[in-house]
Amino acid sequence: MSEQVNIWNIGNTGLRSPERVWEGLKLFAESPFNGNLRGENEARFQTLLKNAGIIHPTGEAKDTSSYARKWRLAFGKFGFIYPKLPQSKSEGVEHKQLDLGPLDEVTPFGETFLKATSLASQQECFLRSLSVAQYEVPYHDGLFSPLRWILAVMLRLEERTGSSELTRIEFIMWGQTTDPSYNVDEVVDNILDLRARRLKSSAKRKFDRLEIEKRAEHYPKQKQNFGDYGDMNMRYLRVGGVVQRKGRGIVISEAKHEMAEELASSAFAYQPMLEMYRELCNGAPLPSDNRDVALRLLNNMKALLRKNNISFDLSEFSLDTVAEINIARQHLEEAWQNTREEQYAVDQVNQWEEIRDYMDLILKGGGTHTYDKDDDTGIEVPKSELPAYLEWVMWRAALAIGHLINKSNDVRRFHIGPDFLPTNTAGGGQGDLYCDYADCTILTEVTMSSSSRQEAMEGEPVRRHVSNALETYGKGIKPVYGLFIAKNIDTNTAETFRHGVWYARDPETQEEIKQRLTIIPIRLLDFRMFFENLFEHNIGDKHAMLRKMIELGAADRDVLDAPQWRAVISEIILSTFASEEDS
């Protein structure tokens, strides 16, 4: 094709995980910057985001407000704050900002979003935003919704192949580079042609590179945007819940298939710009706002749960109004997601090699890892999300080790998206992971911090969390251990945990009680080795081996100094499996 190639971009490099918008918007709404996020306040809001642990800037950037501007842009794109109203020359009408609303102030739809505390209700808000046609079609009148367009392509692909799946390279090449000005069947033809030629290729990474280079000949910007924007665009498309991750590509969610069909019926829109922005900021309509559609969607969810032998009870819902019907459907969607998470948890024992590979990526500081030299089958750890991914991979490791008596969503204290990827880190005032076993409880805390500030940041909260867990989980019946995982263990951190002293208060008498806590600091590299050996040596009772390692690590702490103790813990990990080989 000889026409110029354009890549639409609904993502934001300063906000790689759109699921984090909710906590960022909540912070913004309660701050003095609500309605006042320009000039010097940009840097101040960025500091607020950083101090809240919502962003993790790397290095010392000269621009101390770039993240704030990108978050402001994301808030506006979703309609959660009033964006700056652009002037449309084609309409010949000059609009004032107040025709829309006060600049940078939380909108009515933003307030609705802040009240959405469940995954299903937040997804619906994102879906309303993504369904709005707010992107220009190059060289054509009208606007389009990338989500609606991609759904139209995926549904047509499903008609012709039996599956709606778009692989990463297919999306990069023929998803984000097309729009409703293209013929959907021709787009699918190009996808299937690419798929057939790629299947025959023995060097898929080289094949992908050459295909991108060829298409980039008609693209006026950097060719690396194909991959960078592609990953970002898919991440944002998934946040509405209608499409979900499959490999490194996307597929239509089984639970949202009919919603996808309704949304795909129209991708173009011809409406005045001000009307479009008002719709965005007040909550755009969805097909589910229609009673008949809402009932069909509810009945589809019922059928899906029954097909998978998932019981449910809707007796508390009257179903008299569209709103009640949709709330009932969201209730079933939550049940479906919880069941999928339980299945995901059970499967982690079979995914131990991938879990190990994620640990390797974190040790390298993020990046991608591909299998069989095929970028469509790889895994990724975004550099800006290392803290969240470290908690997440340790959660997956705990699920793979197994023998837990608490549910997977009770183990973690962070949120995950519908594709089970992390959306944030655990909140303050609690530990990261609570692994409850029949004979003990292990509270795991992780950090990417490795400097001399590690002890100041982690020493007090980790001991406090373990002390609290003694009351909640131990209750004098079984031991509670702390496991502290970091890329590197600072000597002062090791010294604090070696002593393990904490003074708690008796809840009845309020008297101080001296506690001796067992908290073992382990380098991530050592834990990665320990975890791999559990499976390489086919250890049956893996959690018992973990407990043994913790108890051995604690045994000699009183006769060693911090550097010696830290070294002994590493040696114990090696010797534990050496003794297994000898036995």
Instruction: Give the domain range for residue 62.
Output: 18-289
pLDDT of residue 88: 65
| Domain identity same for 283 and 379 | no
d(CA 367, CA 250) in angstroms, rounded, equals 20
Specify if 412 maps to a domain.
yes
Q: Is 90 exceeded by the pLDDT of residue 63? A: no
Specify if 335 maps to a domain.
no
| Domain identity same for 35 and 128 | yes
Specify if 201 maps to a domain.
yes
The arithmetic mean of pLDDT across residues 42-57, rounded, is 89
Specify if 168 maps to a domain.
yes
d(CA 447, CA 488) in angstroms, rounded, equals 9
Q: Kindly report the CATH number assigned to the domain that includes residue 473.
A: 3.40.91.50
Strand order in the sheet with 268-269: 135-136, 143-144, 268-269
Contact assessment for residue 287 and residue 262, using Cβ atoms and an 8 Å cutoff? yes
Q: Is 70 exceeded by the pLDDT of residue 1? A: no
Lowest model confidence (mean pLDDT) among 63-72, 119-128, 211-220, 332-341: 63-72
Specify if 340 maps to a domain.
no
Q: Is 90 exceeded by the pLDDT of residue 13? A: no
Strand order in the sheet with 518-523: 433-436, 441-447, 480-486, 518-523
Q: Name the H helices within 265-351.
A: 273-282, 291-307, 322-347
Q: What is the pLDDT of residues 195-222, one digit of tens each?
A: 999 999 989 989 999 999 999 999 999 9
pLDDT of residue 357: 97
pLDDT band at 58 (very low <50, low <70, confident <90, very high): low
pLDDT of residue 86: 85
pTM of the model: 0.88
Determine what percent of the chain is predicted with pLDDT higher than 90: 78
Q: Is 60 exceeded by the pLDDT of residue 427? A: yes
| Domain identity same for 399 and 262 | no
| Domain identity same for 563 and 455 | yes
The arithmetic mean of pLDDT across residues 23-31, rounded, is 96
CB neighbours (10 Å) of residue 36? 15
Element (H, E) at 252: strand 249-252
pLDDT of residue 62: 59
Q: What is the pLDDT of residues 436-460, one digit of tens each?
A: 999 999 999 999 998 888 999 999 9
| Domain identity same for 105 and 218 | yes
Q: Is 80 exceeded by the pLDDT of residue 266? A: yes
Name the domain count of the chain.
2
The arithmetic mean of pLDDT across residues 282-303, rounded, is 96
pLDDT of residue 299: 96
Of residues 519 and 378, the one with the higher pLDDT is: 519
272 φ, ψ (degrees, to nearest 5): -55, 145
Lowest model confidence (mean pLDDT) among 86-95, 144-153, 538-547: 86-95
Of residues 234 and 53, the one with the higher pLDDT is: 234
pLDDT of residue 426: 83
Going 94 to 97 to 100 to 104, the CA torsion angle's sign is: positive
Place of tokens 């990990």: 573
| Domain identity same for 447 and 360 | yes
Q: Is 80 exceeded by the pLDDT of residue 532? A: yes
